[in-house]
Amino acid sequence: MGLRERKKAETRCRIERTALDLFAERGYDAVTVNEIAEAAGVAKVTLFTYFPTKESLVLGPVDNDDFAGAVARREPGQTPLDAVRAYLRALGEELVEFDPAELATRMKVIFETPELVAGVSRIHYVQRSALARALGEGLVAEVMAAAISSTVLALQEAFFLRLSEGMPVGEVRARLGDDVELAFDLLEHGFRDHFRRQ
């Protein structure tokens, strides 16, 4: 990364971190974009260059998942399910360094703000609809997209729960990899054999 790109990344991070801290301290609705820009030491127009809406200051990472793209770009002979599994596996491996405290703050702000909870639901709906289109047409594609999306949500919830309980980051990351394999094995092969083993 060059100097210019590094400075842009630092500015983006500073704006986002400042916004999260203000939202956590005073509540999402009580903080204005002008206050965030001033506290982060940037012009309002600069803030909007990095974050097009106030909501995106919090929900940006949620809106980055591209399961439809993973299906569309899959290798020849690779099933859509395997493409999404590989995509999630790669995301888990990228979690080399992240700030658990920042993640906890983000989740706190989201859960305490009905507008942001609704925003998360809207993002998930858009992602699920895009995934269904990438999978094909008709009920089969819709059901498959719904099953994959629900599975991903369950994986994310387990990930956040372990972090909130204080599990070490390395262990959380390792457990996520195991969870992805288990969840997608269940999607691929069904639940019948799993229940027979219990």
DSSP result, the chain: --HHHHHHHHHHHHHHHHHHHHHHHH-GGG--HHHHHHHHTS-HHHHHHH-SSTTHHHHTTGGG--HHHHHHTPPTT--HHHHHHHHHHHHHHHTTS--HHHHHHHHHHHHT-HHHHHHHHHHHHHHHHHHHHHH-SSHHHHHHHHHHHHHHHHHHHHHHHHHHTT--HHHHHHHHHHHHHHHHHHHHH-SHHHHHT-
Of 167 and 127, the one with more pLDDT:
127
Residue 47 predicted with pLDDT over 90: yes
Choice among 22-31, 42-51, 99-108 with the minimum mean pLDDT = 99-108
Residue 150 predicted with pLDDT over 80: yes
What is the per-residue pLDDT for 97?
Answer: 59
Q: What is the mean pLDDT of residues 94-102?
A: 68
What is the per-residue pLDDT for 160?
Answer: 80
What is the per-residue pLDDT for 135?
Answer: 92
The percent of residues above 70 in pLDDT, for the chain, comes to: 93
Q: What is the mean pLDDT of residues 73-96?
A: 85
Choice among 27-36, 85-94, 105-114 with the minimum mean pLDDT = 85-94
The percent of residues above 90 in pLDDT, for the chain, comes to: 54
What is the per-residue pLDDT for 196?
Answer: 62
What is the per-residue pLDDT for 195?
Answer: 64
Res. 60 pLDDT band, cuts 50 70 90: confident
pTM over 0.85? The answer is: no
